[in-house]
Structure 1
Amino acid sequence: MTKITEEEFARICEQIAADADVILKHNRIGTREETLLWMLLGVLISYLSLSEVETPCFTDVPVEKTYRQAILFILKNRKAHPFEPERYIDKMLS
C-alpha cells in the first residue's frame, strides 16, 4: 500500500493552490472550493495508486463537504506518519 508523507501532501496542496487560477479556468465543476478539492482528490487517487474498489464513490452530486470527507477517508490509513491534513486543505482553499 502506497503511503504519503506530510511533506508530500503539503507540497501537493501548495501546488494546487499555486495553480488554482488555471485549474478553475479549465475545470469549473462547481464552486472554487469544490473544484480544488476535486483536483486534490484526483491527484491523491493517482498518487496513492488507488484501485477502482478503493476509490470513493458518490451517490449524489458531491459538494465541498463530500470531497473533504473523501480526501480524509483516503488518507486515514495511507499517511506514512500521523499528521493533520485539514490544515493543508484549509490553507489550499484560503
Structure 2
Amino acid sequence: MPVAILPDIDEQTCIGCALCVEICTALGPDVLRVKPVEGWKRGKAFVHYPERCISDGACIAVCPTTAIFWMRPLEYTPGQPVPLHKFGRFTKGWDEG
C-alpha cells in the first residue's frame, strides 16, 4: 500500500482566499476545493481529493495564514477513502497535537 503525506486545513485559520486551490489546480493535482461556510462570505478551503495529492507543498507555501499543514503519513488503498490522523501535525517531528 502507498504511504501518503497529506495536507490538511485548519478551518479556524483559513481566510478563504483560495490561493491554495488556485496553485493546486494550476499545477495539476487538483486536490483542494472551497466549501461554503455559514456566516463566512468567501467559504473555506478543504481537501476534496486526498488521493490525488503529490505532496509537493505548493498549497502550504502560498497560504498567507499558515492554515495548511502536513498530516501524519498513513497507508491507504488507491481508490478508497484516505484515513487522516486527526491533529497529527508535522512541526519538529510528528507530534500528537
Give me the TM-score of the superposition, normalised by structure 1: 0.31
Higher relative contact order (CA 8 A, sep 6+): 1
> Which structure has the highest strand share of the two?
2
